[in-house]
Structure formats: C-alpha cells, structure tokens
Chains A and B, each alone.
Chain A
Amino acid sequence: MFETLILMLDATMRVSTPLIFAALAGLYSERAGIVDIGLEGKILGSAFAAAAAASVFGSAWIGLCFGIMASVGLAMIHGFACITHRGDHIVSGVAINTIVAGLTVTLSMHWFGMGGQTPALVGDARFLDITFPFADAIASVPVIGPIYSNLLSGHNILVYLAFAMVPVTYWVIYKTRFGLRLRAVGENPHAVDTAGISVSFIRYRALIICGILCGLAGAYLSTAHNAGFLKDMSAGKGYMALAALIFGKWRPVPVLLACLLFGFLDAVAVRMQGVVIPGIGEVPVQAIEVLPYVLTVLLLAGFIGKAVGPKAIGRPYVKERA
C-alpha cells in the first residue's frame, strides 16, 4: 500500500510539472489583466522547437533555449494583438493555439519528414534524471528511504525547477515592486497609469515571463518527459493548467496544490484502469479523467468556494487622451 502510494506520488510529480509551469505562466499573465487561452499553443510550440533544436544540436539546454524563444515569440504576438491593438484576448488565444497546431506539424514534416514527429532524442539531447546523493544507500530504510530515494530523488532538473518556481512566483507577485504593479495593472490599470507607470510595458513584461514559463513546460514535455515531439503532444495540458489557475484562485500556492491534485487524479486514472472496487464496481477511467474539469466548473459556479479573478481581466486599456 505504502509503495503504491509512493509510486503514485512519484507519477503525480512528473505529470504535474508542466501543469505547474503553465499555470504559473497563466498567473503572471492573468494577474496583469491578460486572459491567456493560448497557454496550450505556447506549450505545443515550445515542445516542438525544443525537440527540434535538441535533436539538431544534440543538447537539451539549447533545445530549452529555442523552446523558450518560440514560446516568448508567441506571447509577444498575443501582446501585440491584445495590448497594442486592443484585440479580443480570447480570439487572439484561439488564433495562437490554431496556428501552432498546424505549424508544428507542417514544419516537422518539412524538416524531419517523420509524419509530424521529431527524431527520438538520446543522451545529452534529453534532460536526464538526477539521483540525489546517498539515494541508493538510504533506499532500504523504512518510510524515509522510499520517500527520499524514490519520490524526491530521481527526477530531472525541470521538475525541481517547477516546484522552485512556486516560492519564486510568490515572492515576485507579493513582495516586489514589479509584482505590486503587475497586480495593480490587473485590478485597476487607471490607477497605475495615474502614477506615471506604463500599463502596456508592465503587461508586456508579464507576457514575457508567461512565455518563458510556457517554454519550460513545453521543453519538459518533449525533451524530459518524452524523448521527442509528437503531433498535438500538449493534449489539453494548457487548458488544464488554466483550470488549475482558476481552481487555485490566481494565487501561487493554491495553484500548486490544484496542479498536484490534477496530476494526482491523472495518476489515479492510470492506476484504476480495470480495477474493481468492492461495493462500487469498476470505476470508469473517464470519470476520473474528467474530474479536474468538473471540479473547476463547480468552483466557478460557486458551489465550492468562490473564484474571483482580477478585476480588469480581459479588458484592453485605453489611455485617456486630452
């Protein structure tokens, strides 16, 4: 029982990592007042760019750089449409998701000709698992052993980075001047403008951070979690991260917990395949898979707590002209 739990928590960490990156990315963007439906597209774009660059240059780190560049580029298109041209945030997000879904397949066919995949990544082209010191030695100690050597040790660096990003985000959002302004831009851009601070510049910077984090999520998918890019490999993770962001009420720590919950549900769904529970019978896998979305809808409906987003979210800011 204990071992199963450790295995499931281990899987939870792996599955949650891209969700954590993407949900925090969304947090920066939405706290600054920019709705980001395009998380999905940015993850997919980055996954492709990272895998393609990693296979060409043979280095996961170079892949990561390209992934982040692709994702930031997409975030800038979003910014150009939403901030500079006051376009609809949701339409722009849908556009980005659609373009990326088509472009990644088109380009990978052109460059690699493998039916929309990139070549399998080996060796340094992937982020490999890190084993903590003494992990093998402690492994046999009861309780602590499995937790240390199976659960905490043996992940790749991006997993640890994702968890580290949570306190960093907390600090940036709540303890820095930039964070204060970012939150103010999302709640009341007029006040920020009155104080002589550029609303657009703050929002663009929020989107750059959003792009970097989505880039990490995408690179994790294609160069760490898997060994290469597959068509549509983001498979709704961006939308699930959006759900986690709302479920965590746009706050870093609850968002982390929401991502872990959704990741855990995924691990449970994999485990429960074909398992018969006494008294209930076989629980359909789909029922568990769908729980993150159902829970988010229930939360939004106000049945479990209340999700109140940033006040100025989705509204373009028009500077008053004399």
Chain B
Amino acid sequence: MSQAKVPTWVNIALIPVLNIMLAFLVSGLVILAIGENPIEAAGYLIYGAFGYDEGIGYTLYYATNLIFTGLAVSVAFKGGLFNIGGEGQAYIGGLGVGLICLSLDHTMPFYVIAPLAVIGAAVFGAAWGYIPAYLQARRGSHIVITTIMFNFIASSLMVYLIVNWLKEDGRMAPNSRTFGENAWLPYLHELLSPLGIDIGDSPLNLAFIWALLCCVFVWGLIWHTRWGYQLRTLGTNPTAARYAGIDTAKVTIWAMLISGGLAGFVGLNEIMGVNHNLLLNFTAGYGFAGIAVALMGRNHPIGIILAAILFGALYQGGAELAFEIPTITPEIVVVIQGLVILFSGALEHMFKDRIEGFFIRRAVA
C-alpha cells in the first residue's frame, strides 16, 4: 500500500530499537521493584558481557547457540511456518553429534569426525523437523501443535536413550562417557594462542565460525536462489504461491528440514564443543530463545547475529549480575527475553502503525 513511502531506516532500525527499549524499560521496572538500582545492574551486566576477554568469549559462546536457533526459527518464519520445536530439534541434533563422536572417537582422526558430526547434527535435527512438516504439508495438522508435542517426545526419548543405553557403565550420572580429545571441537583461544593472540579462556569454539558460515548460507539461500523466492512467496501469500505453480507442500517440508538442521547444530556447540559428552537437557531453552532472536533480528541473518550477541550478552552479563547483586537471579534474563518477545513480536503493531502513519502523513504533506 503506502509502505513505499515509509523510509527504510524506520522499519529496520527505529521500530526494533523502540520495541527493545520498551522491553528494557519494563525490565528496569522489575529490577526497581525488587529494590535494586537498574542503572547499576545494567552496568554490571554490560561489564560482565563485554568488559574483559573471557566475558566476551562467553557472550559469543552463548550467541553461537542463539544464532543457530534464531536462524532455524527465521527460515521457517520466512515460509509462514512457526517452528516452536527448535528445542526438540536441537536436542535430537545433539544426539546425532553424540552418536558420531561416541562411535568414531577411538578410530578416526578429528578431520574425519568433524564433518560427519556436522552432517549428523543436521540430519538428526532435520529428521525431527521432518515429521511435523510432513504432517502439516500432507495431512493438514497444525505445525505449532505438532512441534510442541515433538519437544516433549524428544525429551522423553533422550532420557530413555541416555539412561538405558548411552550412560557410562557403573556411574550414576545420566550422561555418556567423555569423548576422546580427537572428537572435541577446538576452542578458539587454543587456535589463536599460537598466533600470539590471547582472548582469555572461554568455551568459545569453532562452532561459532560455523554459525557465521550458516548465516551466509541462509542469506544466500533465501534471497539469492529460486527456492528462496518460492519460500518467501509461500510465506507472504500461500494462495499466490500455489497459483504461481509452486509446490507448497514440498517447499514447506524443505523449509522445516533446513530449520531443523540448523537447530541441530546447537548440539555441535554444546556436545562437541563444550561438554564433550552426551548429557540431559543441554539445550536449556535455546530453542525458545531462538524465537526472541528471530523476532528481534527481523528474520535477517545480520539482524539475527546482532540479536544473538545481545541475548548472549544478557546470558553472560546476567550470570555476572547475579554474582554481584545476589538478590537478582539469572532468571531476570528470561524475563527480559520474554518482554522482548512480547514487545517486538506480539505487540509489534502497537508502535508500527502509528509511526508509519506519521511518516506517511509527513511524506504526503
């Protein structure tokens, strides 16, 4: 309609920033309500996240998971699908990584295991996205509900597999044996120290580089391929897509396969990069946080990187904050995350319509 008259910077910068400011404002009120100073809290948070090398490393390590799940949510979003099952897909993706590492770490060198683990994560994650996608595309069941159900199914499946089959013999802890070091993704500080660069000890590992490569891949795929065009058409107007001869069922299924595969890469970072064994609940809500990241990043890879770093900073800074001010729990980060989803997702029209109206009127006048 009159969308063209609204300056681009309003849509890609002003409105998102306004929504985030509102989310932070409300979070500040929460902190104020529990009797602490929000400015002081924000200071600790920013210092904890960016103030020293290790902090930055942790921030980027958290961001790695969030880039994967954020991309996963946004690829599905582009096709008009709400993939709420990133959590389950990441969990099963981790299973793929774990199985590859557990079966090959005694016999194979790193450069064989690593690509296989990448494939394992993608295939397992994609498989977990495939069933809901198939049911949506061919049998008309709603993808939101099925992906929620698949989160629970994944959780039970993993408990069963780890407790009954993969647990280390003679140990009580529900996790597999630790992989051999040839199945560990190298830490970035280890890779950079021979070059004389010191970035402090942190769990930041090669998976971060892979996450950035995935961003490039998604960008190319969605905006520079025929398939990406079909996906965006499906998301904008399914009827038009069908009329233009696009096989919508096929595009839906492929969108979810890619989405699930991307979510599965969380396993790469967590299982192969940091924990070095297969354990319960390593996804820790990253799948859901991916929704906030995708919404805030406006479903664009660059936006997603920025949003993931912001949320990574909240995770890391939140831990620092809880250490400095014990009355504030790390869960405050979850509150902020929820407020971001609320303001930049559910309430996105609250400001958008008015601001756009303002600029349209100004352009007309």
Contact = CB atoms under 8 A, between A and B. Distances in A.
B84 A106 contact: no
A301 B337 contact: no
Contacts of B8: none
Nearest to A40: B148
Contacts of A102: 331-338
B91 to A, nearest CB: 14
Interface stretch (A5-13, A127-135, A200-208, A286-294): A286-294
A286 B157 contact: yes
A236 B151 CA distance: 11
B145 A105 contact: no
Interface stretch (B59-67, B227-235, B271-279, B343-351): B343-351
A302 B347 contact: no
A77 B139 CA distance: 33
Interface in A181-198: none
B347 A98 contact: no
A300 B143 CA distance: 10
A286 B156 contact: yes
Interface in B236-289: 288
Contact of A88 (B156, B164, B339, B346): B346
B365 to A, nearest CB: 22
Interface in B37-94: 82, 84
Residue from B150, B335, B337, B348 with most neighbouring chain A CB atoms (10 Å): B335
Interface in B146-182: 146, 148-150, 152-153, 156-157, 159-160, 164
B339 A94 contact: no
A53 interface: no
B333 to A, nearest CB: 7
A83 to B, nearest CB: 11
Given A290-B157, A297-B141, A302-B140, A284 B164 contact: yes
A101 B289 CA distance: 13
A120 interface: no
A116 B330 CA distance: 11
A91 B295 contact: yes
Given A102-B332, A105-B331, A286-B159, A293 B338 contact: no
B350 A107 contact: no
Interface string A57-98: 000000000000000000001001110011110111011111
Interface string A235-246: 010010011001
B183 interface: no
A37 interface: yes
Contact of A293 (B152, B347, B348): B152
B135 A301 contact: yes
A37 B145 CA distance: 9
B149 A95 contact: no
A300 B329 contact: no
A311 to B, nearest CB: 13
A142 to B, nearest CB: 39
A101 B332 CA distance: 10
Nearest to B352: A85
Contact of A95 (B82, B146, B332, B342): B342
Nearest to B142: A300
A294 B331 contact: no
B346 A81 contact: yes
Contacts of B333: 102
Interface in A202-260: 236, 239, 242-243, 246
A99 interface: yes
A37 B291 CA distance: 14
A103 interface: yes
A82 B288 CA distance: 20
B34 interface: yes
Contacts of B295: 91
A7 B333 CA distance: 43
A242 B160 contact: no
Nearest to B353: A85
Given A243-B149, A287-B160, A290-B153, A109 B329 contact: yes
A296 interface: yes
A221 B150 CA distance: 25
Contacts of B135: 297, 300-301
Given A85-B347, A91-B345, A110 B145 contact: no
Nearest to B336: A102
B301 to A, nearest CB: 20
A309 B141 CA distance: 10
B144 interface: yes
A97 to B, nearest CB: 8
Residue from B131, B342, B348 with most neighbouring chain A CB atoms (10 Å): B342
B341 A293 contact: no
A186 to B, nearest CB: 15
B327 interface: yes
Contacts of B350: 85
B302 interface: no
A300 B145 contact: yes
A45 to B, nearest CB: 12
Contact of A94 (B288, B328, B331): B288
B291 A91 contact: yes
B194 interface: no
A91 B346 contact: yes
A37 B148 CA distance: 10
Question: When A and B form their complex, which 3 residue pairs have the shortest distance between CB atoms, in order from nearest?
Answer: A102-B334, A99-B338, A98-B338
29 contacts: A37-B144, A37-B148, A80-B347, A81-B347, A85-B346, A86-B349, A94-B288, A95-B342, A98-B334, A98-B338, A99-B334, A101-B331, A101-B334, A101-B338, A102-B332, A102-B333, A102-B334, A106-B30, A110-B35, A239-B148, A242-B148, A287-B156, A290-B152, A294-B149, A297-B135, A300-B135, A300-B139, A300-B146, A302-B141
Given A92-B346, A107-B34, 20 more contacts: A35-B144, A37-B144, A77-B342, A81-B346, A85-B347, A88-B346, A94-B341, A95-B346, A98-B288, A98-B335, A102-B334, A109-B329, A109-B331, A116-B331, A284-B164, A287-B156, A294-B149, A296-B149, A297-B141, A297-B153
Interface of B: 30, 34-35, 82, 84, 131, 135, 139-142, 144-146, 148-150, 152-153, 156-157, 159-160, 164, 288, 291-292, 295, 327-329, 331-339, 341-342, 345-350
